[in-house]
């Protein structure tokens, strides 16, 4: 059961990636590289029902992953990642693309757009904190990988935000491309983290035994 809960992170990524592709393909006139992922679930989007369903399923699977982390964690930093996953589900996972989804291009913006930006910022902060905690949990190559992913996520998150400033003029070149690099780097980290947790916390990889170097005194 624990392994199944942890593998829910992999399932969540698969669901989101497929949903992103299908929704973007079904949205006539949608520009994959120039429009944000959030525009697929925006108020007024013709594929909003599909993308909201995808996001809800994705978040439920991540909730299962967070519960799995809490159940298997033998490291305090890993336990906190699980706790933050649950916090993310409660605070922003559902609301960001349902109650507080952004408005489609050409529609009047409102308080929902402001809340969408705020909740997206909270989500990004939680992601960076979780990545930093994972770097603490697993040193070595995974630490370097997590820190590098933080750089990618932050850099392309900023790039996407800057590109989206021209949304009122319908001029957002590479906004979708930058955001997808940001999102897919996070997805890749989720998958690798799930594998690391399964290997280390469920006993596939065991710590090296200590060598007792104490010797009996010579007579």
Average pLDDT over the chain reads 91
Could you tell me the pLDDT band of residue 218, with boundaries at 50, 70 and 90? very low
pLDDT at residue 203, rounded to an integer: 73
**What is the rounded distance in angstroms from the CA atom of residue 185 to the CA atom of residue 74?**
26
Nearest to 170 by CA among 31, 22, 42: 31
Alpha carbon 42 to chain centroid distance? 19
Cβ proximity of 146 and 135 under 8 Å: yes
Q: In whole angstroms, give the CA distance from residue 183 to residue 166.
A: 21
pLDDT band at 204 (very low <50, low <70, confident <90, very high): low
pTM over 0.85: yes
CA distance 33 to 51: 17
The CB-based long-range contact list for 105-109 (8 Å cut-off, 24+ gap) reads 105/39, 105/167, 105/170, 106/44, 106/170, 107/43, 107/44
Give the pLDDT confidence of 71-116 residue by residue, as tens digits. 999 899 999 999 999 999 999 988 999 999 999 998 888 999 999 9
Cα(38)–Cα(112) distance, integer angstroms: 13
Q: pLDDT digits over 127-180, tens only?
A: 999 999 999 999 999 999 999 999 999 999 999 999 999 998 999 999 999 999
């Amino acid at each position: 059961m624990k392994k199944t809960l942890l593998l829910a992170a992999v399932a969540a990524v698969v669901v989101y990636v497929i949903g992103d592709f299908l929704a973007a393909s079904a949205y006539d006139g949608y520009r994959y590289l120039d429009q944000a992922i959030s525009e697929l679930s925006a108020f007024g989007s013709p594929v909003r029902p599909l993308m909201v369903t995808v996001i809800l399923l994705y978040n439920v699977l991540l909730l299962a992953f967070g519960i799995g982390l809490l159940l298997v964690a033998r490291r305090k930093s890993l336990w906190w990642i699980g706790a933050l996953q649950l916090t993310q589900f409660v605070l922003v996972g559902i609301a960001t693309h349902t109650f507080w989804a952004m408005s489609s291009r050409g529609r009047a913006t409102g308080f929902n757009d402001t809340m969408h930006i705020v909740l997206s910022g909270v989500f990004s902060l939680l992601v960076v904190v979780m990545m930093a905690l994972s770097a603490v949990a697993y040193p070595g190559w995974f630490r370097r990988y997590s820190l590098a992913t933080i750089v990618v996520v932050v850099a392309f998150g900023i790039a996407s935000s800057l590109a989206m400033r021209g949304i009122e003029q319908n001029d957002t070149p590479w906004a979708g491309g930058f955001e997808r690099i940001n999102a897919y780097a996070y997805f890749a980290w989720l998958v690798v983290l799930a594998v690391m947790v399964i290997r280390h916390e469920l006993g596939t990889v065991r710590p090296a035994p200590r060598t007792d170097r104490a010797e009996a005194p010579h007579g």
